[in-house]
Amino acid sequence: MKKVITYGTYDLFHEGHYKLLQRAKALGDYLIVGVTTEHFDEARGKVNVVDSIMDRIENVRKTGFADEIIVEDHDGQKIEDIQRYGVDIFTVGSDWIGTFDYLKQFCEVVYLERTPDISSTLERKNKFKIVNVGIVGTGRIAPRFISEAKYVSGINIACTYNPQNQSAQAFSNRHDIPNYSGEYEEFLEQVDAVYIASPNETHYDYARKALVNGKHVLCEKPAAFTKREAQGLYQYAMDNGLVLMEAVKTAYCPGFSQLVNMVQSGKIGKVCDVEACFTRLANDNSRERTDAAYGGAFLEFGSYTLLPVIKLLGTDYKDIHFDTIYDENGVDLYTKVYLSYDNAMALSKNGVAVKSEGQLVVAGTKGYVLAPSPWWLTRRFEVHFEDSSKVEVYEPVFQGDGFRYEISDFVSKINGIDKNGYKLTAEEAIAMAEVTEAYMKQKKR
């Protein structure tokens, strides 16, 4: 019996896939089809896959060509599969010519002519219209958004806004963005969605106005300084079918989700303590070090350090307490937030003028998770147990500076695909706004 194997994502199943499978089957007697997991696709930079793995497997099954369907989830698996299943022929479309020649030492490799003029990428383009995004605020983070958005399909950066028209113009020229404006309403007319990266105190107003004008919003944190304001924004977005996402980058990084899911699956027992620290020494004349009202450590890093706390211990904390070191002008240099829950506790440490170990430790009744700096990008984490010789190390995929995952989720949500909505729910974002409100109330004035 001649065994044939082929692999693919099979997203938005199309004629090209069908024909490939048909010809692959005809090469032998038994066809094995490997369908990629979401994780593996993310690792390969395919962040916009629409169909779930179950749907993609089902579509392959329905063709009737596959005698066996397996899941592909890691590099190097093809060699393992070929040996494990005793495969005679590996085949794939001609777009991959040469890429899989290294498999020739294990079996025959056949590149089948690709069906012209059709691909999942094209189907995605036809199915979803390009989202025109406008950037509010042309400061330090905006260029990072632009360079990472290039890796996400279905997005076009159409316009920039800065109340100072000239700054908007200079920024648009520098980054090859077709339009700019110093008038917010005029700017909004030119876009479907906005990314808000302006100073902290302006986020809420810009977000609210954008929503009221029917635009989707990706807003840098904190989107609001009070629970009520945050609730209002999320409620308005929900009632009007608009997407509102707070740009807490960590929440959308694949490794962070893996860490949270692993902890929630009970691997370290019941979670009793979460400690997260993020410090970055800011320039003396930076906004973080000079703006006593809206700069400082907590407002800079609090969303990151509270994220694992809220995700793992929930929104229902019993008590909260802040300790801050201020400078002579009342700028928050270092803030610790203590949260207590029923039978659990948490600590968030944030610094712009105090340096500490930037780690995340999640302690449970059976073991603990340690994610070293920069845990907020979650490139690595370890699971430790009482038996110190037993350590599990995870090195999840992470590409670029992580922004692309958040942008990709934003675009997917706008297109009605909300498979990642759980990564930062409205309830969690509102709970973070509540903590921000508590911080602002007790803050030295």
SS3 call for 174:
helix
Q: How far is the CB of 410 from ligand CTP (least distance, A)?
A: 20
Residue 271: partners with Cβ closer than 8 Å, 6 or more residues away: 263, 312, 313, 344, 362, 363, 364
What minimum distance in Å lies between the beta carbon of 256 and ligand CTP? 25
SS3 344: strand
How far, in Å, CA of 151 to CA of 169, rounded?
Answer: 24
In terms of CB distance, is 129 or 355 closer to ligand CTP?
A: 129
Q: Where are the alpha helices (DSSP H) in 248-333?
A: 249-252, 254-264, 287-290, 297-313
CB of residue 35 to ligand CTP, shortest distance in Å: 9
**Residue number closest to ligand CTP, CB atom:** 93
Residues 309/339, Cβ–Cβ less than 8 Å: yes
> Which residue lies nearer to ligand CTP by CB, 119 or 198?
119
Query: Among residues 76 and 116, whose Cβ is nearest to ligand CTP?
Result: 116
**Is 49 or 362 the residue whose CB approaches ligand CTP more closely?**
49
Q: Which residues bind ligand CTP (CB under 6 A)?
A: 6, 8-11, 16-17, 20, 92-93, 95-96, 114-115, 118-121
The nearer residue to ligand CTP, 17 or 78, going by C-beta atoms, is 17
Of 407, 361, 341, give the one whose Cα is nearest residue 259.
Answer: 361
Nearer to ligand CTP, 109 or 168 (CB): 109
* d(C-alpha 201, C-alpha 198), whole Å: 8
Give burial (CB, 10 Å; 0-12/13-18/19+) of 214. exposed
291-324: buried (b, 16+ CB within 10 Å) or exposed (e) per residue? bbebbbbbbbbbbbbbbbbbbbbebebeeeebeb
Min dist. Cβ of residue 17 to ligand CTP (A):
5
User: Which ranges of 85-239 would DSSP assign to H, the alpha helix?
Assistant: 120-127, 142-149, 165-175, 184-189, 203-212, 227-239
Q: How far is the CB of 50 from ligand CTP (least distance, A)?
A: 10
Closest CB to ligand CTP among 51 and 148? 51
Cα 304 to the center of its chain, rounded Å: 13
CB of residue 319 to ligand CTP, shortest distance in Å? 49
Least gap, CB of 29 to ligand CTP (angstroms)? 20
